[in-house]
């Protein structure tokens, strides 16, 4: 059902919303409509646990009466519901206080070019086929080693969506996207030691998913290697963030240079534009037009055109991350980041993972983080962690029940190397990141 005809039908509904808002007296309006469907199956110990067919839709509209703003939403796309939803938004707007920074984006910044970003690859998989795939994945993990004693299950998900965005400045565009995933999580036991771990694969195109055999094997291997973990004594040492969690460091950095944190003056990188934030070898940039990538889009959540751009070059912060509202609050222009960054990329180095371990020599490899101990205002960083102790460039034993701590300003400046082992499974694309020194709190 999700084809160009359906996109055009939903665009007509959004246009009706905008027209209705104008008739009810709004001076400006923006509206979004989403329609999504999908299939999710999960199995555990070889038996089916859940089969879910998803089908949902919803629309939202924001209207402006001068600088007064009101929003409303509904899941009913009938003409009567559209009128009621617009009326509700208008009623709210009439009673809200004026906000001089409220309003639509600058018209000159709206996207006018919509390249094919190869984001729509429906997966014609039946529930039975998805179940068979999940069982295959879990069976590989469960049978990998006798120490794999239990399973939290395996799952297959396929999702397809249409998203239409329009505003009273004449912007009206829709996109078709898909997202598919395969995951597995198992438990292992050796004596008194019990551990769990997982692996997953995600892609726009199901043909790009890792094979079920590989996902199951990696889930088992990752679980087994964590057995008989021990704590560490309190110390300071180098820390290597594995690629799959290193993205969290960059996400914290993005949070600190985002408009909301900046205009509220709640960022440790306040007034850091054009200053050295990373070592000179670091280059961080957005690539929103990568074909088939998970974060790709020609426009942001306001319709502002996205563009490939540098955030950090030679370690120097070159740009903030702004939507229209925060940009106005700061006296700047939107950077096309309403809704966040898209395919944020830190250029990888030449060292593979094993070479990074050798460069670190002695220190902590972190493969899991717990807790939310990141203070964007001060940069203070303290997270529960698990991973492996490394000596002479070789993993010695698993580590658990420790806390790693530092300050993000120092951590970013003290990055020693970025690996070539880039994890492409998300919106932040990075290899493993080696930080020169952090505090470890253990026994």
Report pLDDT digits (tens) over 327-385. Answer: 999 999 999 999 999 999 999 999 999 999 999 999 999 999 998 889 999 999 999 99
User: What's the rounded Cα separation, in Å, for the pair 381 and 239?
Assistant: 13
Closest CA to 362 of 223, 221, 224, 235: 235
Residue 326, pLDDT score? 97
The average confidence (pLDDT) of the chain is 96
How many domains does the structure of the chain reveal?
2
Do 88 and 14 sit in the same domain of this protein? Answer: yes
| C-beta separation of 239 from 227 below 8 A | no
User: What's the rounded Cα separation, in Å, for the pair 187 and 150?
Assistant: 5
Residue matched to tokens 């991350």: 321
User: What's the rounded Cα separation, in Å, for the pair 250 and 232?
Assistant: 26
User: What's the rounded Cα separation, in Å, for the pair 185 and 151?
Assistant: 6
Do 168 and 24 sit in the same domain of this protein? Answer: yes
What are the backbone angles phi and psi of residue 351, rounded to the nearest 5°?
-85, 135
Q: State which of 224, 241, 269 marks the end of a domain.
A: 224
Do 345 and 382 sit in the same domain of this protein? Answer: yes
Q: State which of 224, 244, 264 marks the end of a domain.
A: 224
- The beta strands (E) that lie in 11-113 are given as 28-44, 47-65, 68-74
| C-beta separation of 383 from 439 below 8 A | no
Angle of helix 212-224 relative to helix 127-142, nearest 10 degrees, comes to: 30
User: What's the rounded Cα separation, in Å, for the pair 200 and 403?
Assistant: 26
| C-beta separation of 8 from 165 below 8 A | no
Do 236 and 220 sit in the same domain of this protein? Answer: no
Q: State which of 166, 192, 224 marks the end of a domain.
A: 224
Do 365 and 284 sit in the same domain of this protein? Answer: yes
C-alpha 31 chain-centroid distance: 24
Instruction: Tokens for 332, please give them.
Output: 């700047």
| C-beta separation of 193 from 149 below 8 A | no
In whole angstroms, how far apart are CA 80 and each of 16, 33, 34, 83, 255? 11, 16, 19, 5, 41
Do 233 and 104 sit in the same domain of this protein? Answer: no
Report pLDDT digits (tens) over 155-188. Answer: 999 999 999 999 999 999 999 999 999 999 999 9
User: What's the rounded Cα separation, in Å, for the pair 17 and 353?
Assistant: 52
Domain that holds residue 45: 4-224
Half-sphere exposure of 315 (CA within 13 A, CB side): 14
Closest CA to 157 of 54, 295, 56, 46: 54
Residue matched to tokens 């700047």: 332
CB atoms within 10 A of CB 183: 20
Do 257 and 119 sit in the same domain of this protein? Answer: no
In whole angstroms, how far apart are CA 331 and each of 267, 272, 326, 439? 17, 16, 9, 39
| C-beta separation of 39 from 46 below 8 A | no
The CATH number linked to 212 is 3.30.2290.10
Do 205 and 256 sit in the same domain of this protein? Answer: no
pLDDT tens per residue, the chain (443 residues)?
448 889 999 999 999 999 999 999 999 999 999 999 999 999 999 999 999 999 999 999 999 999 999 999 999 999 999 999 999 999 999 999 999 999 999 999 999 999 999 999 999 999 999 999 999 999 999 999 999 999 999 999 999 999 999 999 999 999 999 999 999 999 999 999 999 999 999 999 999 999 999 999 999 999 999 999 999 999 999 999 999 999 999 999 999 999 999 999 999 999 999 999 999 999 999 999 999 999 999 999 999 999 999 999 999 999 999 999 999 999 999 999 999 999 999 999 999 999 999 999 999 999 999 988 899 999 999 999 999 999 999 999 999 999 999 999 999 999 999 999 999 999 999 999 999 999 999 87
List, as one string, the DSSP characters of 168-190.
TTS-EEEEEEEEEEEEEEEEEEE
Do 177 and 304 sit in the same domain of this protein? Answer: no
C-alpha 117 chain-centroid distance: 18
Do 174 and 315 sit in the same domain of this protein? Answer: no
Where helices occur in 143-293 by DSSP H, the ranges are 212-224, 243-256, 259-263
- Ordered strands of the 47-65 beta sheet: 68-74, 47-65, 28-44, 148-167, 172-190, 193-203
In whole angstroms, how far apart are CA 401 and each of 229, 383, 443? 9, 11, 9
Do 246 and 195 sit in the same domain of this protein? Answer: no
Do 346 and 208 sit in the same domain of this protein? Answer: no
Q: Which residues are within 8 A (CB) of 321 and not within 5 positions of it... i.e. 6 or more apart?
A: 254, 257, 258, 259, 311, 335, 337, 340, 341
């Amino acid at each position: 059902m999700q084809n160009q005809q359906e996109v055009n039908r939903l665009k007509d509904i959004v246009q009706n919303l905008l027209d209705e808002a104008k008739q009810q007296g709004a001076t400006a309006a923006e509206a979004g409509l989403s329609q999504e469907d999908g299939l999710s199956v999960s199995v555990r110990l070889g038996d089916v646990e859940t089969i879910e067919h998803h089908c949902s839709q919803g629309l939202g509209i924001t209207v402006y009466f001068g600088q007064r703003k009101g929003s409303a939403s509904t899941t009913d796309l009938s003409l009567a519901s559209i009128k009621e939803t617009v009326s509700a938004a208008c009623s709210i707007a009439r009673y809200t206080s004026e906000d001089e920074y409220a309003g639509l984006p600058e018209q000159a910044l709206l996207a006018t070019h919509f390249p094919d970003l190869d984001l729509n690859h429906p997966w014609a998989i039946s529930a039975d086929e998805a179940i068979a795939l999940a069982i295959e994945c879990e069976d590989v993990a469960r049978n990998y080693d006798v120490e794999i004693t239990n399973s939290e299950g395996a799952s297959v998900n396929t999702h397809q969506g249409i998203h239409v965005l329009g505003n009273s400045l004449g912007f009206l565009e829709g996109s078709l996207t898909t997202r598919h995933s395969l995951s597995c999580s198992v438990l292992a036991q050796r004596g008194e030691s019990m551990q769990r771990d997982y692996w997953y694969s995600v892609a726009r195109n199901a043909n790009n998913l890792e094979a079920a055999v590989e996902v199951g094997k990696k889930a088992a291997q990752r679980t087994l290697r964590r057995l008989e973990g021990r704590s560490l004594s309190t110390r300071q040492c180098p820390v290597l963030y594995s690629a799959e969690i290193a993205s969290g460091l960059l996400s914290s950095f993005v949070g600190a240079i985002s408009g909301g944190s900046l205009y509220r003056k709640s960022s440790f990188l306040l007034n850091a534009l054009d200053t050295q934030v990373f070592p000179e070898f670091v280059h961080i940039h957005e690539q929103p037009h990568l074909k088939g990538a998970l974060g790709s889009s020609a426009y942001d959540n306001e319709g502002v055109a996205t563009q490939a751009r540098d955030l950090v070059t030679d370690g120097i912060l070159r740009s903030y991350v702004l939507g229209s509202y925060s940009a106005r609050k700061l006296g700047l222009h939107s950077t096309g980041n309403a809704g966040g960054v898209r395919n944020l990329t830190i250029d990888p180095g030449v060292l593979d993972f094993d070479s990074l371990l050798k460069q670190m020599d002695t220190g902590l490899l972190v493969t899991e983080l717990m807790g939310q101990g990141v203070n964007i205002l001060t940069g203070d960083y303290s997270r529960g962690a698990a991973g492996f102790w490394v000596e002479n460039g070789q993993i010695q034993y698993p580590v658990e029940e420790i806390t790693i701590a530092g300050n993000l300003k120092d951590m970013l400046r003290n990055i020693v190397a970025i690996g070539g082992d880039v994890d492409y499974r998300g919106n932040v694309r990075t290899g493993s990141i080696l930080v020169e020194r952090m505090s470890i709190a253990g026994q």
